[in-house]
Amino acid sequence: MSMKFIKRIPTAEEIIEQLPLPKHISSLRDKRVDEMRNVFTNQDDRFILIIGPCSADNEDSVCDYIEKLAEVQEKVKDRLLIIPRIYTNKPRTTGEGYKGMVHQPDPGKKPDLCEGIKAIRRLHIRALSEFGMPAADEMLYPENYSYLADVLGYIAIGARSVENQQHRLTVSGIDLPIGMKNPTSGDLTVMLNSIIAAQSSHTFIYNGWEVDTQGNPYSHAILRGAVDFTGRNIPNYHFEDLIHTAAEYEKLDLKNPAIIVDVNHANSMKRFYEQPRIAREVLLSRKYDGLLKKMIKGLMIESYLVEGRQGIDENIYGKSITDSCLGWESTEKLIYYIAENS
């Protein structure tokens, strides 16, 4: 047998018992999630920013970053609802490289998934407890959701996962806002079909149980650009792309139609420094057209304390070890611009 069984992973109940969420923090988290839902149901006209490091590689530097976000959030609270990115799972196209804190709580050491699950829960709890900000994470592994079900504020389904049926069915049983990215091919029908599936009820197997779900009315679209057959990045944030997506979306008569635009990844051609320019263009398109004004609810931005990226062994505090990010100075200026122009 080629699969080596290393050790049993603790159940979600066991991990939550070891690392419980205090009741007063749970109430704070629920209040913040209600605010997010209200944006997606048009009861709150604030603009959403899902913003933070490409990957959460170090608890202290991530929390130092979120502390800065929390200070800015207080200043722009009437215009923006900021959701920090705490991405603890990283999809790798070839399976090689750093896969996130859940695999390696210390990027310089070997994988340890038992400790990784504890580390990501501790980080999410710390962000909530110290800064009152439930975070966004990517659902790379649907079965891991149960370890974070009581702490998350927002979930993204990545471009490589959005066509997977288990991801779609799991989303249908979660009551958080969940963004479904267009696949790397850029095929909008894949993304829209995933939203249809996520908003529908299902019966399926989840973590050893037969479960029923009622559908998630807060599931929505994320545009992140595409990659053509030659490997060239193709953006989908331009006005014509947004109008086409909104029109196709509207035809489906889904609940709470909404679009988040990811201004990095293929949309920026992997040029992280283009994110402010792209954000400005999206805001201008949103002002120009009534349908876009209604449907585009926010932006997804990658930023960290220090601009760019580094090798995993360079140890520059607050600098990404995965995709390149904006630095804090550029980020702060961009947030204030978005607040004034959203």
Handedness of CA 146, 152, 156, 160 (dihedral sign): negative
Name the nearest CA neighbour of 155 among 165, 104, 168, 164: 168
Name the nearest CA neighbour of 181 among 196, 192, 170, 171: 192
Tell me if residue 115 falls in helix, strand or coil: helix
Neighbours of 151 (CB within 10 A): 25
Q: How far apart are CA 128 and CA 126, in angstroms?
A: 5
**Residue 8 domain-assigned (yes or no):** no
Domain span holding position 127 = 18-341
Number of H helices, E strands in the chain: 10, 14
Tell me if residue 262 falls in helix, strand or coil: strand
Q: Which residue has the tokens 């360079």?
A: 314
Beta bridge partners, 209, equal 206
Tell me the H-state helices in 210-319.
Answer: 239-251, 275-288, 290-295
**Residue 158 domain-assigned (yes or no):** yes
| Cβ proximity of 275 and 268 under 8 Å | yes
- At 342 the pLDDT is 94
Q: Could you give the number of structural domains in the chain?
A: 1
**Residue 246 domain-assigned (yes or no):** yes
Q: Has residue 95 got a pLDDT over 80?
A: no
Q: Has residue 132 got a pLDDT over 80?
A: yes
Name the nearest CA neighbour of 333 among 277, 285, 267, 269: 277
Name the nearest CA neighbour of 68 among 332, 252, 251: 332
Sort strands 296-302 and 306-309 into parallel, antiparallel or unpaired.
Answer: unpaired
Which pTM does this prediction carry? 0.96
Tell me if residue 211 falls in helix, strand or coil: strand
- At 93 the pLDDT is 67
Q: Has residue 94 got a pLDDT over 80?
A: no
**Residue 2 domain-assigned (yes or no):** no
**Residue 102 domain-assigned (yes or no):** yes
**Residue 11 domain-assigned (yes or no):** no
**Residue 106 domain-assigned (yes or no):** yes
Q: How far apart are CA 192 and CA 179, in angstroms?
A: 11
For residues 288-301, one letter each, b for 16 or more C-beta atoms within 10 angstroms of the residue's C-beta and e for the rest, the string is: eeeebebbbbbbbb
Name the nearest CA neighbour of 266 among 233, 236, 309: 233
Q: How far apart are CA 137 and CA 153, in angstroms?
A: 8
Residue 5 tokens read as: 């069984």
* CATH number of the domain residue 239 falls in: 3.20.20.70
179-183, 217-221, 227-231, 292-296, range with the lowest pLDDT: 227-231
Could you report the per-residue pLDDT of 35-88, keeping only the tens digit for each?
A: 999 999 999 999 999 999 999 999 999 999 999 999 999 999 999 999 999 999
Tell me the H-state helices in 172-222.
Answer: 188-198
| Cβ proximity of 162 and 140 under 8 Å | no
